[in-house]
């Protein structure tokens, strides 16, 4: 692995972390105006239009076909987005992003369960450290309903499954096609739910059976910022995970939590208390250890 390749992956992941943090901050600004299902739709429809324009300028070049895996990546990514945005609207931004980034723990767990990939006792201890961190975050935030925490965990689990799929799809598809599977599914699923609600006259809820609503006036700014920042982050995280021998980029992704804590504070969130902060540090440390150990295993 050359230094250039290593730094390229790190740079891509820092850009991705910044993009996702700005997306979260923009979604936070829309609290009270839109619910999670509506934000999923707008976040992805903006990305879809940008991708279509990009394909017209430079058509994608693919090396194979893995359609079922591509659809699976879209479904898991969309589920992760639903649960992440739901959390962003109801709990502090840094905590929501921390739950989402537990994906590194679940990647280690699923890699062992599905592919029998075992990276040693250090990784196992790091996974336990990460789960301890989740308990520390949960305990001081017990005044939040349990389903906010359940949504946060589901966000981490489905993100892990999506990233496992991305790692295998990078060999066959242009990065923009992998992103298209995500944003396309993220437009289709909420659109279907909205149509079913309208036809069957189902009462609207906060997540799936949502009402159609156009942004009004100043709402357009955060809506456009959310969609463009998310596409920016998704593109660069796909590029980062596709970088040759760049396992360390997974650790760099935890910059997302730092960015999100400060963006959340700027928008009115309190700074994490000592127990929450300890939990965040445990999860960051766990992810960094896992990334470095996997990198060391690959090199050896």
What tens digit of pLDDT does each residue of 49-107 get?
988 998 999 988 888 788 899 999 999 999 999 999 999 988 888 788 878 877 777 87
pLDDT of residue 258: 76
With a pLDDT cut of 90, the percent of the chain lying above it is: 20
pLDDT of residue 135: 67
What's the pTM value of the predicted model, to 2 decimals?
A: 0.80
Higher-scoring residue by pLDDT: 225, 113: 225
Q: How confident is the model at residue 108 (pLDDT cuts 50, 70, 90)?
A: confident
CB 78 within 8 A of CB 29: no
DSSP letter for each residue of the chain: --HHHHHHHHHHHHHHHHHHHHHHHHHHHTBTTB-HHHHHHHHHHHHHHHHHHHHHHS----S---HHHHHHHHHHHHHHHHHHHHHHHHS-HHHHHHHHTTHHHHHHHHHHHHH-----HHHHHHHHHHHHHHHHHHTTTTTS-HHHHHHHHHHHHHHHHHHHHHHHHTTTS-HHHHHHHHHHHHHHHHHHHHHHHHHHTPPP-SSSSPPP----GGGHHHHHHHHHHHHHHHHHHHHHHTSTT-TTHHHHTTHHHHHHHHHHHHTTPPPP-HHHHHHHHHHHHHHHHHHHHHHHHHH-
pLDDT of residue 120: 66
What tens digit of pLDDT does each residue of 232-275 get?
887 787 777 666 444 455 666 777 777 887 888 888 877 777 87
Q: How confident is the model at residue 158 (pLDDT cuts 50, 70, 90)?
A: very high
Residue 278 has pLDDT above 90, yes or no: no
Which residues are paired to 31 by β-bridges? 34
Residue 112 has pLDDT above 60, yes or no: yes
pLDDT of residue 3: 40
Residue 134 has pLDDT above 90, yes or no: no
The number of residues in the chain equals: 300
């Amino acid at each position: 692995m050359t230094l250039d390749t290593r730094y390229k992956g790190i740079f891509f992941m820092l850009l991705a972390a910044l993009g996702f943090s700005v997306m979260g901050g923009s979604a936070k600004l829309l609290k009270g105006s839109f619910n999670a299902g509506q934000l999923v739709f707008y976040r992805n429809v903006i990305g879809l239009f940008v991708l279509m324009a990009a394909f017209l300028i430079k058509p994608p070049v693919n090396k194979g076909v893995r359609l079922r895996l591509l659809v699976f990546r879209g479904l898991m990514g969309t589920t992760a987005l639903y649960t992440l945005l739901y959390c962003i609207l109801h709990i502090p931004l840094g905590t929501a992003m921390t739950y989402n980034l537990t994906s590194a723990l679940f990647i280690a767990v699923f890699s062992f369960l599905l592919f029998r990939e075992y990276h040693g006792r250090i990784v196992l201890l790091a996974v336990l450290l990460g789960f301890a961190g989740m308990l520390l975050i949960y305990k001081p935030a017990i005044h939040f309903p349990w389903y906010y925490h359940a949504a946060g965990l589901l966000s981490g689990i489905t993100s892990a499954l999506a990233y496992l799929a991305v790692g295998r799809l990078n060999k066959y598809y242009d990065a923009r096609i992998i992103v298209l599977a995500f944003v396309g599914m993220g437009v289709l699923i909420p659109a279907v739910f909205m149509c079913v609600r309208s036809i069957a006259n189902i009462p609207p809820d906060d997540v799936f059976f949502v009402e159609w609503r156009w942004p009004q006036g100043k709402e357009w700014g955060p809506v456009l910022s959310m969609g463009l920042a998310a596409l920016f982050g998704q593109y660069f995280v796909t590029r980062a995970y596709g970088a040759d021998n760049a396992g360390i980029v997974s650790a760099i992704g935890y910059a997302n939590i730092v960015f999100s804590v400060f963006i959340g504070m700027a928008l009115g969130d309190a700074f994490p208390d000592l127990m929450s902060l300890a939990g965040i540090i445990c999860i960051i440390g766990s992810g960094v250890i896992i990334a470095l150990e996997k990198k060391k295993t690959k090199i050896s």
